[in-house]
Chains A and B, each alone.
Chain A
C-alpha cells in the first residue's frame, strides 16, 4: 500500500511566496501515487490484475472483454452491447430446470425466426419499391407473420415454464453481492460486481461458468429490451438522435461511426448463429482481463483463477480493427433543431489511447475547463453569450477526438458561440500561455493521481477499462507524462490538430413551437404540428421587412377567417395581430429603410 506522505507539507508553506510552485512536487507524485497491481496470466492467456486492500469489507470483482462496437460490421451493429445483455441469461445449470428441452426450444425458436427474417427480407424489398413504408411496421403484414409470431410466442411460453427467472442475478443477490452490472463502449465490454469478502469463490464460479458454457436464452425478448433502451437513451432525449448523426458524420471510415446500441434495422434481424460466431471470436481467454480489488488473499485468488478460469479453452487471437480513419480533408457541418437550448459542438480528430501527444492534448483541454478555464472566463463571464462551456479529450483504442461544447445564453446564437470558441483556440497558438495557468492544470493532475485510487470499485473499473484500451499501466504513467508537458508541446498539438479541415461542427437550434417558446392560449386547442407551423410563421412575420407582402397576407387572412373552422379562427386572429404589430414596427412607406 501507499506510504503515508509527510504531514509537514513543505510545498504548502512555499505557496504564498512563489505562486507557480506546484502544490505537490512532481517527484512525490511519481513516487507515491502508484497503484500496486499484482498481474498474473493463466496458461490459456487470460490475464488478471489484483489489488489487495485490507481496509475494505468486500471485493470489487470484474472482467473485461476487449470487444466493443468498433469490432462490429454493418448488419450486426449493436451486437457487442446486445451480448452484454445476453451474458446474464445463465448456463445449462443456471436459469433453467430442464437444460435439454431448453436447448431444443432455442433451436425451434431459431427456425421460426429464420422464417420471420425471410418475411422481413421480402418486406425490405417491398419498402424499396415503395409498396409499404416501414418494413418492420404492422402495415400490410402477411397472414403468415401472425402465425409465425403465434408459434414463436407458444415456444416462449413453454420455455418460460422451464426457466428459473433471472437466476444468475438471484444467486448473487442472495449471497449479499451488490451492484452487478455491465457496460459496453466502442472498445470494450466490462462486467462487474461487489461481493462480500468471504464469497470470492462464488464470483469465480459464476463468471467462469457463464464464459465456459453460456446459454443465450430469451434472445428475442432481450432484443425488445434493447429497443426500449434505445428509445430511452436516444430517441426520447432532446439531442439523442442528432448526437448519433454527428458521430456518423465525424467518423468517415472507422467503425466508431455507428452507435454502440446499434442501428434499429440490424437489431431486428441479427441471428443467434451470428451471436455465437461473435462470441467464439472475441470472448476467448486471450482477449479477456479479470480484476479484483479488495480484501482477499492474493495466493488464494491466483489458485481460484487457475481452477475456474483455467477451464476456458484458448482460442485464436481476436482480430484487430484494421480500417483506419481517413484523414479528414474538408470541414463538416451539421445543423439540427430540437427541443433544446441553442448549442454548439466542435470536434477535431486527435490521437488514440497512450499516443505520445495525448498528454499535451489533455493539458490543452485542462486549460479550457473549470471555473477559471478559458471557455468559462470568455464565453460565460466575459462575453456573456453562454450559460456553460466545456472541452473534453477522449482517446479511444483506435482513434481519438477533442470536443468543445457550449450552450447559448439569451439571444446568442450557435454562430456566436462557434466564433468565440475559435478565437480561444487561436489564442492558444498566437499568445504565450502563462506558466501559472499550466501549473494549475498540472496541480489538478497531481491531485487526480491520488483521487483515482480512492474508491476500490472505481479503481477496478479503471484497471479494466485501461487494460482493454491497451495497458492498465496508464494509471501509473499518465500523471508523470502530464507533469512533463511544456508550453511548446501545447502549442504544437494545437497547431497540428485544431485546424479547420480536421473539424466537424454541429449547431443545435431550438425547434419552433417547443417548450421555450410558450404556446399562446389562442393556439392551445390546435394540434401540436399546426401550432408549430403557426409559430414558425409568426417568427417569419416578426423578421420580415417586406411591407407589401405583410399587408397582402393580412388581407388574405381576414378574407379566409370567416370560412375557417372555429378552432382555427382564434389562431388566425392571433396571426393577424402579429402582422399588424410587425407592420407598426416597420418604417412607413416612403421612409428609408435602414
Chain B
C-alpha cells in the first residue's frame, strides 16, 4: 500500500436553499481509486472543474469523502481523530500565492506550521533554516512577502510546508497565477525536493509542459480518472486529450501531425531532442 491510497472515492458538493435544506447535489469526485508510492512524482491533469482540486483536498483531509476511503500513510482520513497528524504528513500548496502566506516576514511564515505543531523553539529555527535553504529562499528570509514575485511567494509557501517535514506534498495548481519564469522557478524547486529529499509530490495542473518529467500521470474529467500512465503513454493519445479539453506540448503536437501526414515516427514524443533525433537519423 502506497503513501496515498484512495479506493472508490466519491465526493458531493451540496447546494442549500434558504431554509438550509439540500437543494442540489453535485458529484465532484466519483469512483476515484489511486495508489501513489512513496517518492513518486505524480501529476493530476484536468481542465477547470474536472474535480482535480476537490480530489487534492482529500489528501490533506480538508475535505472528507462522501463515499469510499482515502488513506494517507495508512491513516483513514475519516477515522483519524487528530486530523492534523494527516495534515502534517501531507502538506498542501495552493493556487493563489497571496492567500496562503500568513506571516509578515518570510521566515515567520515558514515557522507557522511548526509553531502549530508545538515544536520547541530551537527546532523551529532549525527547520526554518533548512527549508529556506532547500527552496533557495534563504536570502529572502527577512523580506516582507508583499515584496516578492509570484514565483518567490510560492517557494515560500513550499518552504512553509517543508518545515513541517511532510512525507508528501500536494500542489494544487501552484503555477496557474504565475508568469512563465515564475512557473519554471516553482517547478524546479518541486523537482529538486522530490529528487533530493525523496518527498512524494502530487502536482495538480492543466499545463502539459509541467507533466513531462512526472513518473505517473492521472487525467481527470467530470470527477473520474479517465486516463493514467507515464507521460509518454498519455501524450501519445493526442485526440483523447483534446476531448478532455487539454492539449499537448507543441513538440508532441507537431510529431502527431507529422505522423498523421505519413511520417514514420513513434507516438508520444515529449522533447525537442527526441523529435530532432527521429527526423535526422
Decide if A and B are genuine partners: no
